[in-house]
Amino acid sequence: MTVLIDNTVLSNFAIIQHPELISRSFADQVVTTEQVFQELQVGIKIGRLPVCNWEWVKRITLTSAEDCQFRQLAAHLGKGEASCLTVAAQRRYRLATDDKDARQRAMRLNIPYTGTLGILATLVKAGLITLTDGNKWLKQMTDAGYYSPMAKLDEIV
């Protein structure tokens, strides 16, 4: 199943300067929307996020059929979240987001989802990173403003 990555997750992995970890955690194709990529670029431009190599993330454009649902959702959510929810619902993709409102809507729309914690836990469980590194990176993310319901991955690994 294709995994659609929202800006909240992209930003967290940009903060630790390891965006490649996202692709390493999924066996499936990782994509994002043009709207999310634009949000990411704004974060880089204003200096909130470091420049990272995102060439490996395929960017997709909404179809005209998806545009109507996108506009409805964008009235209540950011453009990135709205575009991701629309595409995930229409194309049956899995969503990776840390946005609370987007996760609640994903649940109502029966869209499977994960987030930063799930990605880090998957990497640790698969032996692709150590628990020590996962906890160090989680702390860097939370120090930079990411709200995490837990301080360490130990509880879910």
Q: In the 3-class helix/strand/coil scheme, how is the chain assigned residue by residue?
A: CCEEECHHHHHHHHHCCCCHHHHHHCCCCEEEEHHHHHHHHHHHHCCCCCCCCCCCCEEECCCHHHHHHHHHHHCCCCHHHHHHHHHHHHHCCEEECCCHHHHHHHHHCCCCEECHHHHHHHHHHCCCCCHHHHHHHHHHHHHCCCCCCCCCHHHCC
CATH of the domain at 93: 3.40.50.1010
Please report whether residue 94 resides in a domain. Answer: yes
Please report whether residue 109 resides in a domain. Answer: yes
Please report whether residue 84 resides in a domain. Answer: yes
Q: What is the pLDDT of residue 1?
A: 87
15 is in which domain, residue-wise? Answer: 3-116
- The β-bridge partners of 3 are 30, 94
List all residues 6 or more positions away from 78 whose beta carbon is below 8 Å from its beta carbon: 7, 39, 99
Please report whether residue 42 resides in a domain. Answer: yes
List the pLDDT tens digit at each of the 157 positions of the chain.
Answer: 899 999 999 999 999 999 999 999 998 899 999 999 999 999 999 999 999 999 999 999 999 999 999 999 999 999 999 999 999 999 999 999 999 999 999 999 999 999 999 999 999 999 999 999 999 999 999 999 999 999 999 989 8
Q: What is the pLDDT of residue 27?
A: 82
Q: What is the pLDDT of residue 89?
A: 96
- Counting the structural domains of the chain, the total is 1
Q: Tokens at residue 51, please?
A: 């420049």
Q: Is 148 exposed, middle or buried (0-12, 13-18, 19+ CB in 10 A)?
A: middle
